[in-house]
Structure 1
Amino acid sequence: MLVNNENGTLELKDFGTQLYKEMLLDQLKQTDFYKERYHNMWDVKTGYFWYYFKEVEIEGYELSLSLCFLEDQLHSIHMNTWENTDAKDWNEWTEEKEMQVFYRNNKFLTLVLGMPPTRKKKTPYPTCTFIFPWGSIWSVYDPRSASSFMGISYEEKKSN
């Protein structure tokens, strides 16, 4: 299983790597996944840092991962499936093609989670959400950015 439904840990078996809420950046940098697939980093200048990785194959899907760190702790994960038929630039892009990516992402999540979505919405944007006690896993088509993507969001700790 790619995602542990009990705690939201993302397991990358081919790299012997587990990604989890508040994982330290130094811990990530020790993993085979980081050493073999790291691509680049973006400092958002707000305390958030995005780390981008080259595609990995999971369950027959090409999957790209982007990890968002707040300071030095893993905050959230964005993912996307990819196929050769996807638009490579604006000349090839159509909303219909992008919706196919959205549907493929939903199919991927249903497969790796072993369950149907908890909630589906068509407005304001097509969304597919799987809700867990620790957070949620979601897929969205966002017409504003003309893109489809999915992610793992962890619940914030409640302070007393």
Structure 2
Amino acid sequence: MLINSENGVIELETFNIQLYRGMSLEQLKQTDFYKEQYHNMWDVKTGYFWYYFQPIEIKGYQISFSLCFFGNQLDIIHMNTWENGDAKDWNEWTEEKEMKVFHRNNTFLTKILEIPPTQKKKNPYPSCTFKFPWGDVWSVYDPRSASSLMGINCNEEEKTNKK
């Protein structure tokens, strides 16, 4: 996997696919990534639909993708690393385990982006951000949802200029 530092497009070479904000749901559904890795979908009932995918191996890490479409357009890209020792339910969850996921996510992003984080914060909650001219790639531990996530944000002007 490569996150293109010029435009924020995610390239999944194994599946010969590019994921980017504005991509159509029909484009996604035609890919091997969708056909082989699709797990389930959640209709938020607000025009947003989350599509969840089985983890794939990328540079020694198991990475799962959650793609949020608004109508027919990809709007939000979330990712996460996964290992067997991670909590599978609330009975196994501890903040210590979740912080390990957060640190593993940061290590993964540093490895694939090949640059150190631009910004690290502890408040209001732990986060790590890699800034680019088109937007940023981020990792956060959110105690309110008791979860760690990675994602991509595009600047407003970039959102309208994409494919």
The TM-score range, normalised by the shorter chain, is over 0.9
Q: Percent identity?
A: 71
1:84 maps to which residue? 84
Instruction: Please state whether the residue corresponding to 1:14 is helix, strand or coil.
Output: helix
Amino acid at match of 1:154: C
1:64 maps to which residue? 64
Report the alpha carbon displacement of residue 42 of structure 1 after superposing the two structures with TM.
1.0
Cα RMSD over matched residues?
A: 1.3
Write the distance in 1 (CA, Å) between the matches of 2:66 and 2:90: 22
Show structure 1 runs of 4+ deviating over 6 A.
none
Contact 1:80 1:150 in 2 (8 A): yes
Report the alpha carbon displacement of residue 7 of structure 1 after superposing the two structures with TM.
0.5
Instruction: Please state whether the residue corresponding to 2:93 is helix, strand or coil.
Output: coil
TM-score, normalised with respect to structure 2: 0.93
2:50 maps to which residue? 50
Write the distance in 2 (CA, Å) between the matches of 1:130 and 1:116: 7
Write the distance in 2 (CA, Å) between the matches of 1:27 and 1:18: 10
Write the distance in 2 (CA, Å) between the matches of 1:85 and 1:148: 15
Report the alpha carbon displacement of residue 155 of structure 1 after superposing the two structures with TM.
2.1
1:143 maps to which residue? 143
1:100 maps to which residue? 100
Amino acid at match of 2:100: Q
Amino acid at match of 2:72: D
Gaps of 5+ in 2: none
1:2 maps to which residue? 2
Instruction: Please state whether the residue corresponding to 1:26 is helix, strand or coil.
Output: helix
Report the alpha carbon displacement of residue 156 of structure 1 after superposing the two structures with TM.
2.3
